[in-house]
Amino acid sequence: DAGVTQSPTHLIKTRGQQVTLRCSPKSGHDTVSWYQQALGQGPQFIFQYYEEEERQRGNFPDRFSGHQFPNYSSELNVNALLLGDSALYLCASSLALGSPFNEQFFGPGTRLTVL
């Protein structure tokens, strides 16, 4: 049973460029959440997708956008990259209608470096 997968593993971009990160959820999961983890910090919630719609959003600018596909996989897009966007981007999958516990399974992350 494959867990959450993310691609690419590492990415280097320059300021002003655009980037797309990809995530495939754990088999059977229908909800994908994205988190940004800056160096030395805990992950910060970006947004969550369910049924191909953004359901919740954290305190991130509109430069951050996403998409969910019918197979539940998801993309995170960041436009007009800033140096401060350098971080580990984590994808987590879960069930929308799971148990009260509702564990989120995290992928290995994509490390984005903006030069």
Partner 1 sequence: AQKITQTQPGMFVQEKEAVTLDCTYDTSDQSYGLFWYKQPSSGEMIFLIYQGSYDEQNATEGRYSLNFQKARKSANLVISASQLGDSAMYFCAMREVPYGNNRLAFGKGNQVVVIP
Q: Which residues bind partner 1 (CB under 8 A)?
A: 31, 33, 35, 40-45, 48, 50, 55-56, 58, 88, 90, 92, 94, 96, 98, 100-109, 111
- Per-position DSSP letters for the chain, written without gaps between them: ----EEE-SEEEE-TT--EEEEEEPPTT--EEEEEEE-TTS--EEEEEEETTEEEEE-S--TTEEEEE-TTS-EEEEE-S--GGG-EEEEEEEE-TT--SS-PPEE---EEEEE-
Q: Which is nearer to partner 1, 24 or 48 (CB)?
A: 48
**Nearest distance, CB of residue 53 and partner 1, angstroms:** 13
Specify the residue, 31 or 114, whose C-beta has the smaller distance to partner 1: 31
Q: How far is the CB of 74 from partner 1 (least distance, A)?
A: 13
Min separation Cβ 39 and partner 1, Å = 11
Our CB check for partner 1 shows the closer of 15 and 102 to be 102
CB-nearer residue toward partner 1: 19 or 47: 47
CA–CA dist 38, 114 (Å, integer): 12
